[in-house]
Chains A and B, each alone.
Chain A
Amino acid sequence: MKKNKKLEDNNFKNISSNKIIIKVYKDFGSNIGILKADYEAEERRDAYNNLVSINKEFLHDEDIDFSIDDVYHNMQVVLEFKNKTKEEKVKLLEEKIIYQEKLIQFLDKFPEINSIFNYSDENLKLHDYKLLKDYSGNINGSGAYFTIEKGKRIYSFDSVDGFLIPIWRGISSHTQYPDHTRKKKIIIQEDIILKNELQKYDINKKVGNLIIWGLICISILFALNLWGGLRILQMQGDITTEAHADALKCVEYTSNINKLYAEAAANKLFEKDDPAIQTRIKDISPKEIS
């Protein structure tokens, strides 16, 4: 019993971590999804406070709060889904789909009716009905968009035309299917256009940044030069004071020697044998090596 408990603890240890695993499947003309990519992503909030998963290496930037698209939400309200069972919902939608398909056939054949029913709108409505039918048939109260493996959350997506459709896993109905009724990131294309647009204005920004950086570099170089100059001046001062002290010593010695020899010369001249002078001469004479 204890072992099982330990295993469970380890299994759910990192669920709350913001590191999640993304698995992308694709149907290459078959009914079975083939794993196309498998990578780790970081879960965080974007500038608009939406929950997104990001992996810069794989250029992955997707919403993972998976809210329902307004169109399907409104359709559910209009078709009064609240008080209907699953079977009733599917039956109603099947009827709607048949009506819609027939209407589109009529619109194709008789263009006059296009003045009342818009072909593009009706076509889209048919597509939405079909998606809602799939959703109503498969969805059940309990389930999730992720599974847990080795203590980490795994989000699976179905790759369709460049969009990542989240895969729903129902618990009570044992179903697993890509849920097309979630909001899709159609903003991406707009973002590209907007980025291209903004690049035009980036030139001024870049020039401004360059000027600022130039000024900073110039001021740093000026400070370095100033400091160096002052340092040199200080060192020069130190050298001169040292040299000055040595020169003073030399002058002192020279004057002492001159004075001594003058006195010695005077002694010699006047033939005086002053013992004090003799000892002083001895002092300054080179010492014998002992």
Chain B
Amino acid sequence: MVQELKPGDNINKSGSDEKDLKNALDYLGLDDKEVEDASFINFKIDQEVTKKITKLTQFSMAFRMSLEGKAYDEEKGGYKQTSKSIAGKRFISKSTGILNAYASESNLLTQKDIETFVIQYADACRKVETELLRDRSISEVHTRVIFKMFKDTLFNIGEIITGSKSNMEAVFGKLDPRDPDNTGQVNF
């Protein structure tokens, strides 16, 4: 039988965090081991990464984890649940699904054309924006942040799958017009 929760009722009854967590897990019918397993995802990020395939996977993974409220733990070498999620499960699965289509290794083999990618980029952003507006679980505060995160992640993926860095000028224009050496390289 569920205990009645009065207004202003404090859940820190025992005074210690560990005991409170145990009480909470008992109340929710969860097991310690189960929570521990679910709150940690083993995924190693190589800091000196040169392989394009690993980079692609990282971008997609980082986006998903930040939406779920997980941060990278360097000591353990994986993502750990550190805060609340900022989007619902439905939105997370949909947006990462769209990202994974671009973060697939097959795009490297085909070497995507920049013109085609620009159209796909705009289309993907529109889809996610629509989903953001429709999703009732996402608060207004997070809407812009999530959309910007998605755009940046896709931008980074686009750099790899289209082959060269300067190709992305077509999407955002030349970021630094004052190029002293006139080398044509964009300074990010």
Contacts and interface: CB of A to CB of B under 8 A. Distances in A.
A95 B36 contact: no
Contacts of B130: 190, 193
A98 B11 CA distance: 13
Given A111-B84, A114-B81, A118-B85, A186 B134 contact: yes
B138 interface: yes
Contacts of B86: 120
Contacts of B11: 102, 105-106, 109
Interface stretch (B23-31, B109-117, B161-169): B23-31
A171 B74 CA distance: 64
Interface string A112-123: 111111111101
Contact of B84 (A114, A124, A197): A114
Interface in A181-237: 186, 189-190, 193, 197
B82 interface: yes
Q: Is the interface of A mostly helix, strand, loop or mixed?
A: helix
A108 interface: yes
Interface string B16-28: 0000110011011
Interface residues of B, number: 40
Nearest to A124: B137
Interface string A145-178: 0000000000000000000000000000000000
B69 A113 contact: no
Nearest to B4: A98
A120 B133 contact: no
A161 to B, nearest CB: 11
Contacts of B84: 107-108, 111, 114, 119-120
B35 A111 contact: no
A105 B24 CA distance: 10
B2 interface: yes
